Structure 1
Amino acid sequence: MSIRVLVVDDSSFFRRRVSDIINGAPRLEVIDVAINGKDAVEKALKLKPDVITMDIEMPVMDGITAVREIMAAIPTPILMFSSLTQEGAKATLDALEAGALDFLPKKFEDIARNKEEATAQLQQRVLQIAARRGLLRRSAPPVRAAATTQSRPTTANRVEPLASRAPSSRYRASGKSYQLTAIGTSTGGPVALQKILTQFPANYPHPILLVQHMPATFTAAFASRLNSLCNITVKEAADGDVLKPGVAYLAPGGMQMMLEGRASNCKIRIIDGGERMNYKPSVDVTFGSAAKIYQDKVLSIVLTGMGADGREGARMLKSSGSTVWAQDEESCVVYGMPQAVAKAGISTEDLPLDRVAERVLIELKRSR
């Protein structure tokens, strides 16, 4: 059975281009197109597609509003098309928070070296997120409005840190001692990271390294958004940053984040991504670097994402005596990266997304 796709864009040229690519895959079929957000909502309700590709800037109703309405009425995997600009980054993050699962640049040359590679990437993304349709329809969670403030959380809008709540009896701490938390993720990661980090208290006991596969123009906006929502401090990592407790450092897009020095006075080094690396930033690079300096003192987690980035870095961490956990299949947007770690026998626990923060804080509270 074909995966039925609704293509939404106000440009007839782009609708035709995307439709041709999608129809070129054996398992994919474009069942209709929509010319604006209002048209998209109406056709989503009528046709019940398996996947929707959505532009952001459109007349009548923009893509973000359309995503909210579709997710509230008939939750459907949605792939956004965005521009690689600061404004495009903010709008894309709004769309992901509204319920979209993934995004791609509208200029396909920004994600691939040639036409064939760009075509394969788009087809693969549609196929990957299509697998979430059944779970979305069954769970249908309420959609939260996108954040607009860039100030620190107030008493009214901050998430109550889990450290102030009664611990669950479901988990038991290992008794290990840690000096660093490291998290790697890709597709579905922005929402997953927000869900986890907003539950950490301001007095989180050590630094946090974040590696999210994202274009260079997106990481600064994403770090700023997380910082506005979290009790901890979140920043885009800069070369020479000294790691501090309660601060999360997001690897810049297009670059690699490594560590140097000793655990007691560790610094971040941001280096060129390199042409041979598939991922910039790469979870493997950052995890491997952390293993060399922190040895058995790292609590690491591999979250939702395509591919296997993080497996070899996680292997190095485990060999050094550190702890490796993975997100479970059911709560992942794409069960690629966590699956690679789990299948290799590297992770010791597979956790649902809504329990990751709780599990981390139990582990750290009991280990100190």
Structure 2
Amino acid sequence: MPPINVLVVDDSALMRRLITRFLEEDPQKPPIKVLDSAANGQEALEKAVRLRPDVVTLDVEMPVLDGLATLERLMRQHPVPVIMLSAHTTEGAQATIKALALGAVDFVAKPARREDMPQMVNDLRFKVRAASQAVLRWPGGRPARPLAVVRPVQTTRQAVPPAGAVGISGGSGGRYSAGVIAVSHTAAASQPSPIGAPEVAAGPVRQSGRIQLVVIGSSTGGPAALQQIIPRLPANLGATVVVVQHLPVGFSGPMAEHLDRKSAIKVRHAQQGDQLRPGEVLVAPAGYDLTFRGRPGNVSVFLDPGQGPVPPGGFRPSVDVTMLSAAEVLGNQCMGVLLTGMGRDGALGMQAIFRSGGLTIAEHESTCVVYGMPRAAVELGAANRVLPLPEIAAEIVKNI
């Protein structure tokens, strides 16, 4: 099994040595190999072209050519998955959000205290491995395959799947439909799928209740994906949107501010007790699980800091927690949207919304940076629609 080849870029000689050691001591397979290191952005650009690493770790603050300028040139000249290393400061957080918008796959916050170092090491290893599987899809990037053409395919049999049924069927088997368009899901397709291709089953019939809440969940590649959705929503959208993006504490507020500056719709950091109001986007604060209390027409936000640290493999905020709560409180008046990300967070929440009669949309593999979370929802049969990223905003607006 070939190693994951990494280029480490940091102006601190100590950090270059530490990062190299941390990555190469990772016992998991495949091994991580640091090809070389660079002390500034200009050196990094030269070595990236020559060495062709699988992943680059890139410091935000550097002399000669800083991290943002380096990233922008890398994405244009030699696209490669990049993990940013950010200072745990307001300025560092703002620069990191800009970096994610420019095409960085993910980031790791440098530890503010010595005791935070083990968490940073674990995050860095995990995210380097995730980045090695990423497919760049930003302007100037290199898609691994042509963008699939995904078209709605009307199913024929008017039947509702039983609770718990897996909604992937094909061939001569029945195709579940309940008056909702099912979207064909075929990886790497370049033409519309034939009617006989495997399809994503429609959920229970939605009643006439208007959508009051849209929950959007994302992880690796999410900040860039959100910029293709939130700025395309109108200021007078007739529902509240809640964004649950996996981020460390201190970074969700700057992301909300960044999206607000780019959008007609109002975007802000969610606070305890916020009422759900149409025409507003609430970004879940990092470090808290966001749930809902009340009943349709009078729903408020509840933020739970949880008990102790997040367990390995878990997240706070958790997409599952927010979507499960949305389904419980709002039933068929909520919509779930699951975007790019590693792992399975959000799949069970999408299933709950699906079963409640709400609408669920999963991002198609052809536009995901990491096709993990949407895949898990599709495999559960929990997606009414599977769409490429550029079509999702219009689909949200059309169904509200």
Please tell me the TM-score bracket, short chain as reference. 0.7 to 0.9
Structure 2 counterpart of 1:247, which letter? Answer: E
Q: 1:251 to 1:334 in 2, by over 3 A?
A: same
The alignment partner of 1:295 has SS state of helix
Which residue of 2 is the match for residue 103 of structure 1? 107
**1:32 counterpart = 2:36:** yes
Identity %: 38
Tell me, yes or no, if structure 1 residue 67 matches structure 2 residue 65.
Answer: no
Q: Give the aligned partner of residue 131 of structure 2.
A: 129
Aligned residue pairs, count: 334
Question: TM-score by structure 1 length?
Answer: 0.84
User: Does the 8 A contact of 2:362 with 2:378 survive in 1?
Assistant: yes
Answer yes or no: is the 8 Å Cα contact 1:328–1:353 preserved in 2.
Answer: yes
Matched, 1:362 2:398: yes
Q: Which amino acid aligns with 1:24?
A: E
CA distance in 2, matches of 1:93, 1:114: 22
Q: Which structure carries more helix by proportion?
A: 1
Cα deviation for residue 123 of structure 1 reads: 2.1
Superposed displacement of residue 142, structure 1: 4.0
Deviation at 1:329, TM superposition (A): 1.9
The alignment status of 1:12 with 2:13, answered yes or no, reads yes
Contact 2:334 2:358 in 1 (8 A): yes
Aligned ranges for residues 271-290 of structure 1 at < 5 Å? 271-275=304-308, 277=310, 278-290=314-326
Give the superposition deviation at 1:124: 2.3
Superimposed CA distance per residue, residues 69-92 of structure 1 (whole angstroms, 9 cap, x where no aligned partner): 111101110000012221111010
Q: Does 1:298 align with 2:334?
A: yes
How much does 1:16 deviate?
0.8
Runs (4 or more) in structure 1 with deviation over 6 Å come to: none
2:311 pairs with 1:313: no
SS in 1 for 2:214: strand
TM-aligned CA deviation for residue 315 of structure 1: 2.2
Distance 2:293 2:129 in 1: 40
* TM-score normalised by the chain length of structure 2: 0.78
The whole-number CA distance in structure 2 between the counterparts of 1:254 and 1:331 is: 28
List runs of 5+ in structure 1 lacking aligned partners. 144-167
Task: Give the drift of 1:291.
Answer: 1.0
Contact 2:79 2:140 in 1 (8 A): no
SS in 2 for 1:312: helix
Secondary structure at the counterpart of residue 20 of structure 1? helix
RMSD: 2.3
- CA displacement 1:198-251 (0-9 Å, x = unmatched): 111111111111111112211111111111111110110111211111101111
Hey, what does 2:139 align to over in structure 1?
141
Instruction: Measure the CA separation in 1 of the matches of 2:64 and 2:255.
Output: 28
Contact 2:253/2:285 (8 A) holds in 1? yes
Matched residues in 2 for 1:286 and 1:345: separation?
A: 19
Query: By how many angstroms is 1:271 displaced?
Result: 2.2
Counterpart amino acid of residue 87 in structure 1 = E
Q: Which structure has the larger Rg?
A: 2
Alpha-carbon distance in structure 1 between the residues aligned to 2:138 and 2:90: 30
Q: Which amino acid aligns with 1:251?
A: A
